[in-house]
Amino acid sequence: MLSHDDSKIQDRKLILWARFHPDFSRDVLIPEIEANSIQYHVAPHLIDNFRKYRNAENCLYFIHGFAYADIPAGQEYEVVMRINEGIIDHNSVISCKAIVLCFFSEFKMQPIAYAWHGYHAGCLIQFPDGIPDLIQEMYEITEKKPIKITQEICLCTLETLKVNSGILDTVIVEDKGKSIMKITEEYIREQIQLLYSKDSNTGYAALKELQDASHEDCMVYTHLNEFFDMLENKNSFVRTRGLVLIAENAIWDEKGIIDRFFDSYLQHITDEKPITARQCIKLLPTIAKHKPELIKRMTETLRSADLSCYKESMQPLVKKDIEEALAQIQE
């Protein structure tokens, strides 16, 4: 056994796999739970608790994933979000109180005092402030057949959120009545340092974090000069990460920083590493979309690129990338 209080804070995530359609719950699930409770002599206080809440307002029945501990009925959570292969989608995080009113056994569903550590089963969850829209993205059970997990949804507390998945520095801000998570400046600086990591997985993870943050607001853009400095790094992976983040932040470049340093960017069309060169070329249409005043400079450089520095086997690939980039830029 592993109690909720003894579990690691970062593990305290209740993962939801599927939701029961309300009609199916009313016509099939609830009568079965009632019948099983009587047949298997479920403790009276558990039956009473189930009957008290079985039709409560703003409630849905779910199948939850493998429990992180022996989670007691009555457990409360504060935020809801998408989770994919164990990784939280922090752009989807919203503040949403959720109370697990009942847990049910996996086989012959009947009320139990707590979810069993390491097992998946059923539960009844109430959302006092209204059922969040994210829940609609889940697989919906309308008949008795094997479920298909289409989108996992995660419930946890703010404390768990802030220590989970490396998201250590976050704040919760209000947006149209709901709270969403925003990455802090300190967290951005930490991720930029990780871009230089010798471990490729660490560097790539930091890049993805900063890419996602770049889509939300201009906080990452304020470090644009640092990304241009990365273009001079001896490590081609670091150069590539700099190229990507410059392109991702072109949308915010009202100050014209990219314009001033664009020649240093264009040099990497023929980077000594063909993989980096190809990435640079493929990113140019993104910059062109937000910086049309640079189109002439980039197209001229693409057309005049000398590919003789690459092996004959690589030259056709780079040439094709150039042709495709030119076509996209000129659309």
| Token reading at 144 | 């008795």
pLDDT at residue 105 in the model: 95
Q: What are phi and psi of 165, to 5 degrees?
A: 60, 25
In the predicted model, what is the mean pLDDT of the chain? 91
Q: What proportion of the chain, given as a percentage, has pLDDT over 90?
A: 79
Contact 77, 14 (CB under 8 A): yes
Q: How confident is the model at residue 173 (pLDDT cuts 50, 70, 90)?
A: very low
Residues 6+ apart with CB under 8 A from 210: 188, 191, 192, 195, 220, 245, 248
pLDDT for residue 62: 98
The predicted-structure confidence for 13-62, as pLDDT tens digits, reads as follows 999 999 999 999 999 999 999 999 999 999 999 999 999 999 999 999 99
What per-residue confidence (pLDDT) applies to 112? Answer: 97
Count of helix runs (H) and strand runs (E) in the chain: 13, 13
Rounded to 5 degrees, what angle do the CA atoms 183, 283, 290 make?
A: 70
Q: What is the residue type of 75?
A: Q
Q: Which residues lie closer than 8 Å to 51 by C-beta, 6 or more apart?
A: none
Range of weakest confidence among 68-72, 180-184, 291-295, 309-313: 180-184
Tell me, what's the pLDDT at 179? 47
Residue 218 or 116, more confident = 116
Q: Sketch out the chain's domains with CATH numbers.
A: 9-179 (no CATH), 184-329 (1.25.10.10)
Q: What's residue 309's pLDDT? A: 93
Confidence label for 251 from pLDDT (cuts 50, 70 and 90)? very high
- Sorted by sequence, the CB contacts under 8 Å of residue 184 that are 6+ apart come out as 169, 170, 171
Surface-to-core class of residue 130, CB atoms within 10 Å of its CB (0-12 exposed, 13-18 middle, 19+ buried): exposed
Rounded Cα distance, 59 and 61, in Å: 7
pTM of the prediction? 0.57
Q: How far apart are CA 312 and CA 217, in angstroms?
A: 42
Residue type, 203: G
Q: Which of 29-38, 167-176, 319-328 has the lowest mean pLDDT?
A: 167-176
Q: Are strands 178-183 and 59-64 parallel, antiparallel or unpaired?
A: unpaired
Please name the residue that has the structure tokens 């009947």: 110
* 76-131 residue pLDDT tens: 999 999 998 888 887 788 889 999 999 999 889 999 999 999 999 999 999 999 99
Q: How much of the chain, in percent, has pLDDT values that exceed 70?
A: 94
pLDDT greater than 50 at residue 176: no
What is the length of the chain?
331
Whether pLDDT at 168 is above 60: no
Residues ≥6 apart with Cβ < 8 Å to 315 = 307, 308
Amino acid at 212: D
